[in-house]
């Protein structure tokens, strides 16, 4: 189908690939959506918050105990009170450490479960996206969103949220403690904080933009790896001798990613170096100001008790001050990290916000596969892959496939044959008209029951990188070994499976590349036989096979089509001579219909296609014979 991937996903293409899209700020809606991820675990979150507040309060205990030890214990020479103050200083960090261990565990549990929920939500949403989304989007791009982007926000979910609360609690409690000791010294320590906050906000915006560019570059690199290091990609690269060009292209994209990641690491580093330097210098200024206030010019001399009290206050204050700078530095850095993380959240939410065009409508009823007779009708169906297309892919198509009969679709490439087969299982929805099964509009029935009712054998067989058994059980997970073998025998593949080293437990490799084309196709047919669907769709299931494989598969298909409603796209017209009805499709319309004999008598497009194909039959047979020998040689090599 020429239109299969051209128009169906244009809206998605604009959404995913337009680089000029304006940068979206981390608005309140994004923050609320991130926060909503924690709602199912609010009890655990509450416990963590209480633990954070408790450890924050405990953190100011020891500086005050230090002050009391100096000003009272040493200043007043009261050893009994000094022992109590020291005991409190010993016990407090032990309690804080135990609370911290429990907090860390709960934090990890909450974070990992939130990540699990986010991955599940995104994967579930992608599973329900319409087919046009996947025809327009690279697999590597999808994988990058599901793994790289979610992995990129993992530290935010697991660490940053509690880090913010923890550092805010520590900072507030510490500032209160510092104010209680000396408001003058506190003002000196915090004087430049508003400037730091503003600069941090500016740096965060730059970091966020670079983070978004970095993830997009990483997605491009992931997509390139997925495309070029798959079996098909490697085969294409080797057969065209393009390894050097592909390596150069990868190196270029890799270098671009390295540049972005270096920028991401370095953005704001001068700013944070300045902050760190200021925080290191400030304690010296605090000592100078405290000395001026205590015994500066014009002030009376102090006695020993007064001096001990001043020293105790100064030691306690500088201890609190050193405790304050770390959480403030963390909060300033977290703001920058959050801006980068929100860029990743935006990419994740961008996918989650994509509309599900094909879903169960309210009140959709399930079809019972056991009672479906299989009457399929197209009623004045018009369809186009995109509203931008001037000519519809299908234009007022109407026909009926009666229960148990075979209807064949023939016509030139791009005529609309595959599109017709896509509308029956509702991979796309019609623009106008309707497609019905036993009188039920497919839009009025549940998608799950529709999938159970229809079996599809495509021209390009897809097998999972798993065992033959697992690939077959995909159709019927509860099937017994006897059922598997019966389906394989019906598809003329059982004997070949038993010749393999591991039999049904043989791993077929990526996309089934350890098997020949005919073997893969027969396993696909066995899978559909095991499914036992009432309606069968065959999309040129034998077009790319040699004569030997085609004969085996054709025999399997004949058994499969018995008493089933079948719609078959025919590449080789010899395979559908006995069809109950042949529909000739051209330019989106059914231009001829009838049996083989009737269409030959009409001497129209079908007769022309038939004569053209069979005039080349001797040459085709010779090519097929060579291909059959190659296929047999391949089987020997694979053995």
Report all structural domains of the chain as residue ranges with CATH numbers, in order of start: 10-14+28-352 (1.20.1560.10), 376-638 (3.40.50.300)
Residue 214 reports pLDDT greater than 90: no
Which of 160, 124, 123 is closest to 38 using CA atoms? Answer: 160
The mean-pLDDT minimum among 29-38, 330-339, 621-630 falls in 621-630
**So what's the pLDDT on residue 359?**
86
Strand-pair partners of 435: 378
Residue 514 reports pLDDT greater than 50: yes
Alpha-carbon Rg for the chain in angstroms:
36
**So what's the pLDDT on residue 13?**
43
- Enumerate residues 6+ apart whose C-beta is below 8 A from 177: 60, 63, 64, 320
Note the pLDDT tens digit of each residue in 54-75. Answer: 888 888 888 888 888 877 877 7
- Enumerate residues 6+ apart whose C-beta is below 8 A from 639: 499, 500
CA dist., res. 462 & res. 548, Å (int): 21
**So what's the pLDDT on residue 98?**
92
More confident residue, 234 or 506: 506
Residues of the chain above pLDDT 70, percent: 76
Segment of 104-118, 259-273, 551-565 carrying the highest mean pLDDT: 104-118
CA distances from 514 to 136, 466, 509, 510, 519 (A): 29, 11, 6, 8, 10
Is the CB of residue 256 less than 8 Å from the CB of residue 250? no
Note the pLDDT tens digit of each residue in 81-96. Answer: 888 988 988 998 899 8
Please provide the average confidence, as pLDDT, over all residues in the chain: 78
Spell out the alpha helix ranges (H) of 443-573: 447-453, 468-473, 481-490, 494-499, 517-531, 547-561
The distance of Cα 592 from the centroid of its chain, to the nearest Å, equals 45
Q: 0.85 exceeded by the pTM?
A: no
CA dist., res. 519 & res. 497, Å (int): 9
Which of 465, 476, 566 is closest to 507 using CA atoms? Answer: 465
Residue 147 reports pLDDT greater than 60: yes
Which of 574, 186, 162, 583 is closest to 394 using CA atoms? Answer: 583
Which of 347, 386, 480 is closest to 24 using CA atoms? Answer: 347
**So what's the pLDDT on residue 163?**
74
């Amino acid at each position: 189908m020429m239109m299969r991937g051209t128009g169906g996903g244009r809206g998605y293409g604009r959404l995913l690939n337009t680089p000029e899209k304006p940068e979206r700020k981390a608005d309140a809606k994004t923050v609320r959506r991130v926060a909503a991820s924690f709602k199912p675990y609010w009890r655990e979150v509450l416990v963590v918050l209480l633990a954070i507040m408790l450890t924050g309060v405990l953190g100011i205990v020891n500086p005050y105990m230090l002050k009391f030890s100096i000003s009272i214990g040493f200043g007043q020479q009261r050893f009994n009170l000094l022992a109590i103050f020291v005991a409190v200083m010993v016990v407090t960090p032990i309690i804080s450490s135990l609370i911290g261990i429990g907090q860390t565990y709960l934090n990890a549990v909450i974070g990992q479960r939130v990540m699990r929920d986010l991955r599940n939500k995104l994967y579930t949403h992608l599973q329900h996206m319409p087919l046009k989304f996947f025809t327009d989007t690279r697999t590597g791009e999808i994988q990058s969103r599901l793994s790289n982007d979610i992995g990129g926000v993992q530290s935010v979910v697991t660490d940053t949220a509690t880090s913010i609360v923890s550092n805010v609690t520590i900072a507030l409690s510490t500032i209160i403690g510092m104010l209680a000791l000396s408001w003058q010294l506190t003002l000196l320590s915090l004087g430049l904080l508003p400037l730091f906050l503003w600069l941090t906000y500016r740096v965060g915006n730059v970091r966020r933009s670079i983070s978004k560019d970095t993830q997009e570059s990483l997605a491009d690199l992931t997509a390139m790896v997925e495309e070029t290091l798959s079996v098909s990609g490697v085969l294409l690269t080797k057969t065209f001798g393009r390894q050097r060009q592909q390596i150069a292209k990868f190196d270029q994209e890799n270098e671009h990613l390295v540049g972005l990641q270096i920028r991401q690491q370095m953005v704001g580093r001068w700013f944070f170096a300045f902050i760190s330097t200021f925080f290191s210098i400030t304690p010296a200024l605090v000592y100078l100001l405290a000395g001026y206030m205590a015994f500066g010019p014009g002030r009376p001399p102090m006695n020993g008790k007064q001096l001990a009290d001043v020293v105790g206050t100064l030691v306690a204050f500088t201890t609190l001050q050193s405790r304050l700078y770390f959480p403030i530095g963390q909060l300033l850095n977290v703001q920058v990290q959050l801006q980068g993380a929100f860029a990743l959240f935006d990419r994740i939410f961008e996918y989650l916000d994509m509309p599900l065009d094909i879903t169960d409508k309210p009140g959709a009823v399930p079809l019972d596969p056991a009672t479906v007779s299989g009457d399929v009708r197209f009623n004045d169906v018009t369809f186009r892959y995109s509203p931008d297309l001037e000519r519809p892919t299908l234009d007022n198509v109407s026909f009926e496939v009666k229960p148990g009969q075979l209807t064949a679709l023939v016509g030139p490439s791009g005529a609309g044959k595959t599109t017709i087969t896509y509308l029956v299982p509702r991979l796309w929805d019609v623009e106008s008209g309707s497609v019905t099964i036993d009188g039920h509009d497919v839009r009025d029935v549940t998608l799950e029951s529709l999938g159970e009712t229809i079996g599809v054998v495509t021209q390009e067989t897809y097998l999972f990188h798993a065992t033959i058994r697992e690939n077959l059980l995909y159709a019927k997970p509860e099937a017994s070994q006897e059922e598997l073998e019966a389906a394989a025998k019906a598809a003329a593949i059982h004997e070949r499976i038993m010749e393999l080293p591991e039999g049904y437990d043989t791993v077929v490799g990526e996309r089934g590349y350890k098997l020949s084309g005919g073997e893969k196709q027969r396993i696909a047919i066995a899978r559909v036989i095991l499914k036992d669907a009432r309606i069968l769709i065959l999309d040129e299931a034998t077009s790319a096979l040699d004569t030997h494989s085609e004969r085996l598969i054709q025999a399997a298909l004949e058994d499969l089509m018995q008493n089933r409603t079948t719609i078959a796209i025919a590449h080789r017209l010899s395979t559908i001579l006995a069809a109950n009805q042949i529909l000739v499709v051209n330019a989106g319309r059914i231009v001829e219909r009838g049996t083989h004999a009737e269409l030959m008598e009409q001497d129209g497009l079908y007769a022309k296609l038939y004569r053209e194909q069979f005039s080349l039959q001797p040459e085709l047979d010779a090519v097929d014979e060579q291909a059959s020998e190659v296929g047999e040689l391949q089987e020997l090599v694979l053995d």
